[in-house]
């Protein structure tokens, strides 16, 4: 799925790196706990979160994610936008809640990885 399609499905606003919205992504995850993203997420290209701090962008960069979508009308700080710009990570914001945003993406073909046994 193109990042531009995610923007359309979530009625999202692109905040930075709009030039990268033509990239394809193949999976997504939704979490407000970056420790879970680091521990359990593999090969996820899109992160949906309501957590607004610089660790979100740093985590996305470490996990080689291509896009962060802030849900519930959350907006990133100037520092976060600069970090994302440096890493080439698309940042978007949507008014949708995480449950609805994840469901919309999933029902349109963007999946997550299989859950590993703990």
CA separation for the pair 27, 12 (Å, rounded): 18
Query: Rounded to two decimals, what is the model's pTM?
Result: 0.92
Given the structure tokens 């999202």, which residue do they identify?
12
> Taking the mean position of all CA atoms in its chain, how far away is CA 111?
13
- β-strand partners of 24: 2
3-107 architecture in CATH? 3-Layer(aba) Sandwich (3.40)
How confident is the model over 11-69, as pLDDT tens digits? 999 999 999 999 999 889 999 999 888 887 777 689 999 999 999 999 999 999 999 99
Domain spans, the chain: 3-107
Rounded Cα–Cα distance for residues 27 and 56 (Å): 17
């Amino acid at each position: 799925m193109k990042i531009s399609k995610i923007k359309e499905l979530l009625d999202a606003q692109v905040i930075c790196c709009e030039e990268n919205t033509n990239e394809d992504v193949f999976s997504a995850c939704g979490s407000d706990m970056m420790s879970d993203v680091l521990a359990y997420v593999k090969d996820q290209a899109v992160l949906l979160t309501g957590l607004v701090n610089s660790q979100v962008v740093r985590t996305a960069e470490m996990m080689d994610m291509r896009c962060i979508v802030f849900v519930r009308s959350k907006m990133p700080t100037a520092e976060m936008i600069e970090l994302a710009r440096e890493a080439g990570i698309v940042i978007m914001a949507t008014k949708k809640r995480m449950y609805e945003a994840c469901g919309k993406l999933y029902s349109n073909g963007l999946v997550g990885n299989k859950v590993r046994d703990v």
